[in-house]
Every structure is written in C-alpha cells, then in structure tokens.
Amino acid sequence: MQRRDFLKLAALGLLAPGTTLTLPARALSHDVRLLSAASDGDGHHFVIGLTADGEPRFRTPLPTRAHAVVAHPDGRHALAVSRRPGRVITVVALDDGRVTHSIEAPEGRHFYGHAVFSPDRKRLFATENAFGDGGGRIGVYAVDDGYRRLSEWDSGGIGPHELLMRPDNTLVVANGGLRTHPDEGRRTLNPDHIEPSIVWLDASGNLLARHQTAPEWRRSSIRHIAALRGGHIAIAMQFQGDSRGEAPLVAIAHPRDGLRTLNVPDALQRRLRDYCGSVTAARDGGSFAVSAPRGNRILFWRADGEYLGATRVEDGCGLAAGATAGEFLISDGLGGLRRHDALTGTQTPLSPSALRFDNHLSSIVPPL
Amino acid sequence: MTRIPALLLLMAFTTSPFAADHQAINLSVTDELIIPGYRHLAQATAAFETATASGCADLDTLRARFHDVSDAWNEVEMWRFGPIEYLDRRGRFWFWPDKHGRMDRQLRQLLRAGDREILGDAHFYETSAALQGMPAAERLLFTALSDDLTAADAYACAYLRAIGHNLHDMATRIVADWTDPDRGERRMVEAIADGGSELYDSADEYTAQLLKSLHTQLLAIRDLKFDRPLGEDLDHARPHRAEFWRSTRALRNIRHNLHAVRALYDAIRPAITDATLAEAIQADFEHAEAALAAIDTPLSEAVADPAHRPQVEAARAAIDTLAERVGKELPAALGLALGFNSLDGD
C-alpha cells in the first residue's frame, strides 16, 4: 500500500492500529488475517497467525506469555506484547512467523500487555510499569530505528493497561489503578486505594482529559478500551472482589461528555462474575462487543449505548472486528474460534485450534 | 439471538456422561462441607466475641478462642467464591500474607491515636482491612502488647472487642448469604438442576469451580505458606514470613487446610473413573500428610534450622507433587475443562 493511501484511510478514521488493522488484501503478500497469543497445556507460549477462516499459518514460540498482538501498519509484521510482568515485545514477520526483532523494556520497567502505533506509524507506544514507584508510564519507541526508546510519558494513573490511538493523534489510555511489583508476582498492592481512570493525552503526552467512575465503584478497574464512532470510547472493566453483580462493568466515555456506565441485563448481572476480558469495536465503529470469560458470555451494544444482546461462548475472551459492519471474531481458551454477526445473531464456527487462545485477538480486514 | 434456549442448555447438560454425578457432588459438597464449615466458623467467632466482650483479664481463654477461630478459618479458607469474596470479607477476616507489614504499622498508629469512635459498629468495618481481622487479633494477643490488654479500660482491649464483634458479624452474614432460601448461594447451586440458576449454566461449571478451589489452595500452601518462609536457601530463610508465627500456628494452619482439601477430594473421588489416578492422588495425600506430621518444630524455627529444614522441604515437595497431579490430570479425568482466560486473565 502507498503511504498516501494509508494516510487517507487514517484521515477518514478507518484505521485503528491496534486490534484491527485495515488494509486492502492486494497490499498483503500473505493470507494471515487473525493474530493471537496462545498457550499449550504445558506452559509453552506462542504467537500465532491464522487465515480469515482460522487455518493456522504460523506458530512462533515466545519466551514469556504474551497478551495482545498488534498488527504492524506495514501489513508485514506483528508485535506480541508480554503481559505483566514481562519485559519483551517480540516482532514477527507475518509471512512465516520468524522473529525479526525483540524490544526489551528498559531497566526498572515492564510491559502491561498492550501497545499501539501512531497514525504515521513512526512511533510505538507501550503501557509500562515504573515499578520502583509504581507509576504508570507510556514508553515511546522509534519504529524505523530498531524500536529505539525515545522517551516516556506519565500515563496519568497507576497500572495502565490497554491504550489506543485516535486518528487525530490523541492517545487514549485505560489506567487500571492496580499497583503491582514484579517481585510480588501479580498481586494487587493497593486494594484499598484503587483509582482507575481513562485519560486522553495529546501527541506530546500532555493530559487533555481524565474521567473516572463514581467514587463508590473505584474497585472497578478500567482495563480495556475500544474506539467507537464520534470520538466515543467503549470501556470494559473488572471489579476487584465480588459485587454480586452490582459493580459497573461496561461504559462509554468521551473527553467532553465524561463517562457513562451501561447496564447489563438483570439475568446476566451476577453471572458475568464482575469480570470483562476484552472489548472491540466493529469495523464501522457503530457497535461493540465485550467478552466476559468467567460468565461464558459475549455481550453486544450499539455505539449509542443501546444493548443488542449476548451469546454464550465458554471461556470466550478474544474479540476482533470482522470484515463487515456488525461482524466479530470470537476466540476462547479451549481453542474455539467463530464468526458472529451482532446485528443478525448468526454464528459460524471456524477451524478450532489445538492451542488455547489467550485474552486478545487481532484482525487485519479490508477497507469497507 | 440473545438468550440461549433452555432446551439447548438442557441438552448440553444431559449429554455429558459426567453431568449427573456432578450435580450430586455439587450439592453434597455445598451441604456437607461448605455450609457446615462456615457454621463452624460462626460458632467459633461467637465464642471469641463473647470472650472479648467480657474484658481482657483472662488471656488464656482469649488465646484458646483465637485458636478455635483460626482452626475453623483454615478449614474454609479454600473456598474462593461466594459470600466470602463479597465486600472484601476475605481480606477483612484474614489479611495475609501482609508483605509490606501494613497491619503492624497501622495497628501501632491506631493504638497511639486511641480513637474510640473508629471502634464503633458504624465505622469499624470501613477501616483498613489490615486492622479488622485475625492478624491484628494475633498481634494483640501473642506479643508484649497483651500486657496492655489487661489494664482497666484499656484501648487495646476495646479494640480487640471490636475485632471480635466484626469477625462474628462477618461469619454470621456469610452463613446467611449461603443459606437464604431465595437469594442464597446454595439456591444458585440447587437451581442448576432446573436451569434456573442466576450464576451457573451447568453443573459442570460449579464442579469446575470446586476443583479450582482445591488446586488453588494447594498452590497457596506451596507458594505462600512454605516457599515464602523457606526463602532461596538456609541463609535466606525468612522465619517471620511464616503464617501466624507469633502464635506458632503456621503448621497447624496448613494441617487444617490440607484436611479440608482432602475432604473435598474425598467428595469428588466417586466421580473419577480413572482408578489409577484416584489411587495416585490418594497416595499423594497420604504422603503429604505424613511429611507434614513429621515436622516437629514450629515452621518459623524449622526453616532456619539446618537439622529441621529438610523436613519442611520434604513436606513442600509432597504438596508440590499433589498440586501438580491435581492441576494437570484431575480436570480431564472428571470431563471438565478449566477455563484458560477465566482462570487467569488480565
């Protein structure tokens, strides 16, 4: 693809580098369309590439368990980001899965499992933990210079997790609020003082806006986000503890309008077990899907907050935008993969994997 | 599109060759282990509350009642779902491990400030979890602070009384939350049979949760209760990381934990069709119990003592063998798939 086309797509807001990469098929030299971290039953971890129908194309071993896999906007590479407290991002080539680069977190930092490219694809941003003081950071890396670390920004909170880039160059960050330290594994060190937030940063890392849930629900950790139409952001949360279905789990936020929580239907409130695993917007940003792997459900909403429905997927967690407006790909921890149309409710099973799909799925889709 | 037709769920339920057994196990574990365990805890907290309410002169009785509550807690510690997780009751009851010494720091601040209002019903449950439960009670009862308890109108005694009241309040609410006929946790399990459970789609889902409790408790014994005090080697042993070292309860806690885990396993065992596996796990349990019984010194001393440390390491290894076998082989033997994302997400 020409750079000119790329920028045009970006300007139209059709490009959301991160979980969904929009590229015409003719621009690609391979047929890998789905990306995920995965594990076998014996504690071996991989990054895998699949066709649009779920046929395996590559399976590359990783030194540690990865979380999100980010498609490089060049359409030829993908980045498998270690989950906390991992310290490496592994870059693989999509045509054969070979490792082309390893990005190491600097001294005193570890990754949180998510990263995103800038719209001009020159910079990579990764959420990081400065675990000495526990502060959240955004590591900034020069893509064309061997991913050299350029600088770091304050993430605007503790425990930044997923981040996304808007076409206007603003970075949106979900600060989960949970303080952890690699010496103490994954344990939450500040259970009584959790301050999750969603923040908007400008192209230099300056804070533009910050929103939180109501004070009584600060234990709902804001961890995953997806870009909707009109600058709105869908939010999926994880409550620390058992709220008996009372804690908010899903919200929509906008830098000007604040944060609005969405209700889960009564019959599902307790069943979701206070836990959402990921959120993904449809190709056109007009709807979004939220996974609740502990409740074995995937829920769908329209971008304006109207609830569309739910489907049962055992241990379903990974979500990616499909090729059409209301279509989603759903992966699960048992190796299952299916295509689901949120507007019609139709579901098509795809080739299952021998591996367990990890929390997140990414897709490369053609322009609408 | 939204709802799964009840018939489909029913089909999924009845076609599994294990399902019928699983619901029977679910109910027997709930009715014969979980609920009686919490009832026993509530009895123990009632006695402890009574002891704290009658002043702090009789330290021996207070300590004995404290031990009863600890014993009862370690029999139910393994249940990591349901009412114990509501309102952070687990942390408020048993704030451990306390890797940054929060309880000790906050307790000294509290005693220095001497604020009586904070001890009242309206406020105490809102205070720091580290101050509300058994670790704080242990600190008051088994250190030099116990000397201050007996002074007339002592703040420390009033504080212990608040802890006793709070513990009993939590324990009785946990029992009620399990047994409420309409909205109780037990009802959620019972309703699985007619597809009317608000929490579970199938019997398998609850059985898998039980299995996860079993496995997680074994990992907690290994990683938190053994490995943390053991340290890397003899020179790096950390005696004060042993659980409740002040009351020399570390091994007693583990023995109760293992007793409870074994009781759960015994309840599940009839559903294991692989007799070889069932016997291997049985042998692992016996080995672990024997290794644990062989440690003849308090854990906090044994880890730092070249003569006794090997006994601890042997017990740790036995728990590890058991945990690995249970984690790797038991789910499949019961026809269960423990979720990958739901078990360990981010």
Give residue B11's pLDDT: 37
Q: What is the distance between the alpha carbons of residues A237 and B192, in angstroms, rounded to a whole number?
A: 27
Rg (CA), chain A: 18
Mean pLDDT in residue range A346-350: 96
Which positions in chain B touch A187 (Cβ < 8 Å)? 99
d(CA B146, CA B56) in angstroms, rounded, equals 9
pTM: 0.87
Helix (H) or strand (E) holding A290: strand A287-292
Strand partners, A225: A235
pLDDT in tens, B84-127: 999 999 999 999 999 889 999 999 999 999 999 999 988 999 89
Report d(CA B250, CA B138) in Å as an integer: 12
A327 beta partners? A341
* Probe site for chain A from B99, B232, B340, B344 (most A CB atoms < 10 A): B340
pLDDT of residue A281: 96
Q: Among A110-114, A185-189, A311-315, B230-234, where is mean pLDDT lowest? A: A185-189
Q: Of all helices (H) and strands (E), which one includes residue A46?
A: strand A45-50
Task: Give the minimum alpha-carbon distance from A362 to chain B in angstroms, rounded to a whole number.
Answer: 16
The answer, yes or no, to whether residue A269 has pLDDT greater than 80, is yes
Domain count, chain A: 1
CA quadruple A105, A109, A113, A114: dihedral positive or negative? negative
Residue B45 in contact with residue B164, Cβ under 8 Å?
yes
Q: What is the mean pLDDT of the segment spanning B293-319?
A: 97
Indicate which of B342, B343, B344 best probes the interface with A, i.e. most A CBs within 10 Å of its own CB: B342
Domain enclosing residue A37, as ranges: 3-365
B37-180 folds as A middle domain of Talin 1 (1.20.1420)
The CATH number assigned to the domain holding A224 equals 2.130.10.10
Query: Which runs of E-coded beta strand occur in B123-262?
Result: none
| Burial (0-12, 13-18, 19+ Cβ within 10 Å), A260 | middle
Task: Show the tokens assigned to B55.
Answer: 């002043």
Of A220-229, B16-25, B38-47, minimum mean pLDDT range: B16-25
* Candidates A113, A271, A309; nearest CB to B198: A271
Which residues, other chains included, contact B247 with Cβ-Cβ below 8 Å and sequence gap of 6+? B63, B66, B67, B70, B138, B141, B142
Mean pLDDT of A68-84: 96
Question: Is the pLDDT reported for residue A268 higher than 50?
Answer: yes
Burial class (CB in 10 A: 0-12, 13-18, 19+), A132: exposed
Contact yes or no for A21/A73 (Cβ under 8 A): yes
Contact by Cβ (8 Å): A73, A117: yes
Q: Say how far apart CA A191 and CA A181 lie, in whole Å.
A: 13
Task: Read off the pLDDT of each residue in B230-257 and give the average, rounded to a whole number.
Answer: 97
Nearest to B88 among A223, A241, A310 (CB): A241
Phi-psi region of B248 (alpha: psi -120 to 50; beta: other; left: phi over 0): left
- Evaluated on CA atoms B41, B42, B46, B47, the torsion sign reads negative
pLDDT tens by residue, B202-213: 999 999 999 999
Mutation pick from A184, A216, A242 vs chain B, by most beta carbons of B within 10 Å, is A242
Per-residue confidence band for B150, with pLDDT thresholds at 50, 70 and 90: confident
Q: A362 forms bridges with which residues in the sheet?
A: A35
Residues of B in contact with A309 (CB under 8 A): 1-2
Distance from C-alpha of B96 to C-alpha of B99, rounded to nearest angstrom: 8
Cβ contacts (< 8 Å) between A273 and chain B: which residues?
342
- Whether A314 sits inside 8 A of B339 (CB atoms) is yes
Q: What is the ipTM of this complex?
A: 0.79
Q: Find the angle CA(A291)-CA(A295)-CA(A297) to the nearest 5 degrees.
A: 45
Lowest mean pLDDT of A170-174, B1-5, B334-338, name the range: B1-5
- Looking at residue B152, its pLDDT comes to 65
Average pLDDT, chain A: 92
